[in-house]
Amino acid sequence: MHNRIMITGAGSGLGREIALRWAREGWQLALSDISDSGLQETLGLVREAGGDGFVQRCDVRDYSQLTAFAQACEQKFGGIDVIVNNAGVASGGFFGELSLEDWDWQIAINLMGVVKGCKAFLPLLEQSKGKIINIASMAALMQGPAMSNYNVAKAGVVALSESLLIELRQQEIGVHVVCPSFFQTNLLDSFRGPTPAMKAQVGKLLESSPISAKDIADYIYQQVASGEFMILPHEQGRMAWQLKQKNPQLLYDEMANMAEKMRAKAKA
């Protein structure tokens, strides 16, 4: 380990807080995002926190940009030890309202962006015997109503991470998947959905969270250090996951009731 970490979606939100958490340990950071200004701001904060590194604009939908980012890590750092596939977007809407374009956009960024990140950086991780940290969501495990494309994309990230955990053990590459619930973030900036009411409802859930992106980054750091595969930062999320494992039908009924309430609220 040479303490070199790559983070996508590092220009704001959870990606920035993950960067700052590792920076406080003196790591070298390779930061990417589609926002140049956000990246520069994060890099400045990283240096204040005790880390250093470089930034490179990268759209995770474009595999060539990710391979170029991996090459930059090799040239500047001599390799990489940890990759964090964090870049993501939010969306919502009942299945009947979502267009196929909504599905393509969601899958391309939230699922295939992670697949491509893992693929582009795997040769470097094989050299360093490093770690993969994929950011999924509690939506991957709970499948809440009016967000089927987001649920499916994030569930794909969990399934990918489970597959890599099994396949990469022999190569001594660690794998972790993080499933946060709603938290205070700028995810709404990227929100795409058929109705403004849906965006407002998601906004309320984000604002009501008891923990921040900074808290989540700190929890991720601790759990990765302890070797935990599935990282559930929210206590409510951990309880809900336990409930689903014991009595899935109870949870499905609760989600169906929630869907009815959401539809009634939208009509009102």
CB 23 within 8 A of CB 51: yes
- For 75-220, strand residue ranges (E) read 82-85, 131-135, 174-178
| Cα gap 109→90, rounded to integer Å | 10
219 is catalytic: no
Enter the tokens of residue 196: 């403004």
Nearest Cα to Cα of residue 230 among 185, 111, 238, 84: 238
3-class DSSP assignment, residue 174: strand
Amino acid identity, residue 182? F
Cα–chain-centroid distance for residue 118?
A: 13
Q: What tokens appear for 189 in the block?
A: 């900036």
Q: Which of 63, 150, 219, 252 is catalytic?
A: 150
Q: Give the relative orientation of helices 63-77 and 112-128 as an angle to the nearest 10 degrees.
A: 30
Reading the block at residue 157, the tokens are 């990230």
Q: 214: which 2 tokens?
A: 């900074």
Q: Which residues are designated catalytic?
A: 150
